[in-house]
Each structure stands twice: as C-alpha cells, then as structure tokens.
Amino acid sequence: MNDIGQTRQRITGPPGISELLLVRHGESQGNVAATLAHQSGAHVINVPARDADVELSGTGREQALALGGLLAGFPEDGRAAVWSSPYLRARQTAEQAVRTGGWTTQVLLDERLRDRELGILDMLTSAGVEARLPREAERRRWLGKFYYRPPGGESWADVVLRLRSLLADLDRLYPGQRVLLVCHDAVILLIRYIVEGQTEGELLDIAGTTAILNASVSRFVRPGGTGRWQLESFNVTDHLMSEGIPVTEHAGDANVHPR
C-alpha cells in the first residue's frame, strides 16, 4: 500500500458502511460477442445494442438466479442496501437476484456505477484498434490502462473520481451497515484500488493477471464502519459451482501496464 493509501486508512471520522459486497453482472450478450470477435480476429464486436442496453445471455440469467440463492441465505437482519449500475445487464442481475433471494430491498440505480466509457474505441477489438486507430493504439500502450483516455471516453482515473463520490455518499447514507453493489469488472477493480489505497502498479498487476468472473462476489469488511478495510474474499463463484451453473470468464485486454 502506498503512503497516501495508508494515510487515508488512518484517518478517522464519523462511521461509514461496515461491509461492502461487490458483484459483477452475469454474462451478457455483449460479453459473448466480444469474446467471439477477439477469438476470430475481427475488428468490430457485433453487439446487439448500445452498451447501456445489452442484456444478459441465457447463462447470465442462470447466474443471476444462483446469486439469488446466495442472497436467500442471508438472515433478514443481515440484508443489505442494493445499488446497481443502470446498464441493463447489471440491473437485470441485481433485480433477479434480489427477487429470487426473497429480499424486499429496492434496487437503487446510480450512473456512477456504470462501465467505463470507451468513446472512439467503442465496439472495436484490440485488433480493430491497431488496424483502424494505430496512433490511439500507440498512445494507449505508452500511457497504460490507468491514465489512457480515448477520445470521447474515460480513463480508469476518471472512473475513480466518480467512484470516490459514490463511496462517500454510501458512507453517509448507511453508517454501520452492509451495502451490495452490482456493477462491472473495471468498476470492481477500481473500488478495490480505492479502499485498499493501492498504487497504479499494484492495481495493474491485478488487472493484468485476474479476470473478474461473471456474477462473482467480492467482500470487504470494516468493523464499526471505521479504520482499515479488509478484503475477506475476492472473485468468489462458489454459489455458481454449487448449482452447476457455468463460471464464465470474459476479460478485457491484459496489456495494461505503460510501456
């Protein structure tokens, strides 16, 4: 952990949330299309809708049901506030899981949990960026994943700014309580970056070697809502495997470090 992160962890103030559950949405039709495009060497991903409107695949719906089975095991006094990215694949995952789990919790949508905006790179594979936008490909390699901002899009650093705002609001709204967030793979990695006070290098080491699995659950705890966050579990899919539901891995570009 860097010095800034350690300093943040030492700062005490009013209690905030005491437990944070992070869930990646179930497999989406866009995940499937992107993986097929990368495997075939295609330049363009044949997505069925704009990013915000891409639905879950059949497997993704099964994963959301299995996530609901996990939520059903929570005692009533241990259930959480549920916030979701407004993107359809995340909202479908959250609503299906909450309904299947028997929770009466309302799923709250917040645009700060949306996936990273890709701008000019939207719908392009890595091969497509290299072929059609070679200068952008070179700039992306030079800057690395964290600071590269495609024209019309966001860098990971940009996403971090909106997530810091969200986490501050959650601390204010739910002191001493558990909160469940349903969102996207990059968002989960960047929330981990924030709460652990990671450096850019530490974040990119994880991003370059670890795919956040669909419908996986990661858990952070902070007893009493103050002090240092502790990572209790990361990228867990036991609830899928116990039900015989496929565990799907749809990762982005692993070339994340600046070079």
Distance CA(7)–CA(53), nearest Å, equals 40
Task: Tell me whether residue 17 is in a domain.
Answer: no
Task: Tell me whether residue 204 is in a domain.
Answer: yes
Count of domains in the chain?
Answer: 1
- Tokens for 256? 């994340």
Work out the mean pLDDT of the chain and round it to a whole number. Answer: 94
Task: Tell me whether residue 132 is in a domain.
Answer: yes
- The 10s digit of each residue's pLDDT in 9-43 is 434 578 999 999 999 999 999 999 999 999 999 99
Task: Tell me whether residue 248 is in a domain.
Answer: no
Task: Tell me whether residue 254 is in a domain.
Answer: no
Residue type, 253: D
Range of the domain at 37: 24-241
- Whether pTM > 0.75 for this model: the answer is yes
- Does residue 67 contact residue 90 with C-beta atoms inside 8 Å? no
Task: Tell me whether residue 52 is in a domain.
Answer: yes
- The 10s digit of each residue's pLDDT in 182-224 is 999 999 999 999 999 999 999 999 999 999 999 999 999 999 9
Task: Tell me whether residue 249 is in a domain.
Answer: no
User: Residues with Cβ < 8 Å from 24, sequence gap 6 or more?
Assistant: 182, 183, 184, 185, 188, 212, 213, 214, 215, 216
pLDDT of residue 2: 53
- The 10s digit of each residue's pLDDT in 106-118 is 999 999 999 999 9
3-state SS string for 132-176: HCHHHHHHHHHHHHHHCCCCCCCCHHHHHHHHHHHHHHHHHHCCC
Task: Tell me whether residue 256 is in a domain.
Answer: no
- Tokens for 130? 């290299």
> What CATH number does the domain containing 196 carry?
3.40.50.1240
